[in-house]
Amino acid sequence: MAEWNNGAGRTAEPPRPSRPDGTVPGHIAIIMDGNGRWATRRGLPRTAGHKAGAETFRRIATYCKNIGVKYLTVYAFSTENWKRSEMEVAAIMALLKRYLLEAVETMERDHIRLHFFGDMTPISPELRALARETDEITEHLSKDDFQANVCLNYGGRNEILRAVWQFAEDCAKGIRDPWDMDEEEFSFYLDSRGIPDPELIIRPGGEQRLSNFLLWQSAYSELYFTDTLWPDFDEAELDRAIASYQKRDRRFGGVKK
């Protein structure tokens, strides 16, 4: 049985989910939106919103782990976010660097696996090296441990294109046969290979769209939107999202028996 760090030492079992009641989704994905507005409303620079947003991520990841969520995937930087000012992009990258530097120190202790989705090619060599380091640590951790996936220079369409390119290359090499391609095999080429699709996708910040997030994986995800801005999103808000998910009638295109 996996060991679980409860802060006061190790216990043989992870804590039972106490809140919320019922089935907790195994994989929750979040579009962390509203950081800029949160800061502007306080007369602060947009970068202050991202800083607060990074703290919210930390807090929500800890809560997810404690209530028994297995995977948390967050949209940290999209393929379109390069259009923002150089200063804002640099601030987001600096926050990610700080988070990764801390993570390499604490992942093993806290049993947190960390993985990246997205095309890392244009990311700074320093950040890429840190991401590689976290991947290596993740490899040593148990598959039962909680995993956070950070989407960095990520776009759903780009992810599908990269999968197609890789598949075409494998076909050209004779490793794969194009006529054998099915949904399961295609999933193997995505950044999310081996990770179940998210049951629940949450978007704070008031907008009701996916914005190029997990386009393949969201086919049957339940969507939850809230006006709360990401830096204000807390455990109670996540409980509300999960309670809403638990009331959904998930039929996957079938009919209720």
One of 28, 30, 32, 67 touching ligand FPP (CB under 6 A): 32
- Among the options 5, 81, 119, 239, which is catalytic? 81
Q: How many CB atoms lie within 10 A of CB 75?
A: 27
- Which amino acid is it at 219? A
Q: Mind giving me the DSSP string for 167-197?
A: HHHHHHTTSS-GGG--HHHHHTTSTTTTSPP
Q: In whole angstroms, what is the distance from residue 39 CA to residue 41 CA?
A: 5
Nearer to ligand FPP, 107 or 163 (CB): 107
Q: In whole angstroms, what is the distance from residue 113 CA to residue 111 CA?
A: 7
> Nearest distance from residue 52's CB to ligand FPP, in Å?
8
Nearer to ligand FPP, 89 or 171 (CB): 89
One of 54, 69, 190, 195 touching ligand FPP (CB under 6 A): 54
- Rule CB under 6 A: which of 123-152 touch ligand FPP? 150
Nearer to ligand FPP, 79 or 167 (CB): 79
Map tokens 């093993």 to a residue. 108
Q: What tokens does 72 get?
A: 């948390």
Using CB under 6 A as the criterion, what x/- string covers residues 169-198 for binding ligand FPP? ------------------------------
One of 24, 25, 57, 151 touching ligand FPP (CB under 6 A): 57
Binding part of the chain for ligand FPP, among 62-70, 93-101, 154-162, 210-218 by CB under 6 A, reads 93-101
Binding part of the chain for ligand FPP, among 65-73, 89-97, 179-187, 238-246 by CB under 6 A, reads 89-97
Q: What tokens does 187 get?
A: 């999933």
**How far is residue 83 from each of residues 77, 97, 179, 219, 249, measured CA to CA in Å?**
11, 20, 39, 28, 39
Map tokens 């990841």 to a residue. 61
Using CB under 6 A as the criterion, what x/- string covers residues 148-167 for binding ligand FPP? --x-----------------
> Nearest distance from residue 57's CB to ligand FPP, in Å?
4
Alpha helices (runs of H) in the chain, residue ranges in sequence order: 35-41, 46-67, 86-110, 125-140, 156-172, 183-187, 235-247
Is 81 considered catalytic here? yes
H or E segment at 150? strand 146-154
Binding part of the chain for ligand FPP, among 28-36, 160-168, 208-216, 244-252 by CB under 6 A, reads 28-36
Residues interacting with ligand FPP, by CB under 6 A?
Answer: 32-37, 50, 53-54, 57, 74, 76, 81, 92, 95-96, 99, 150, 205
- Residues with a catalytic annotation lie at 33, 81
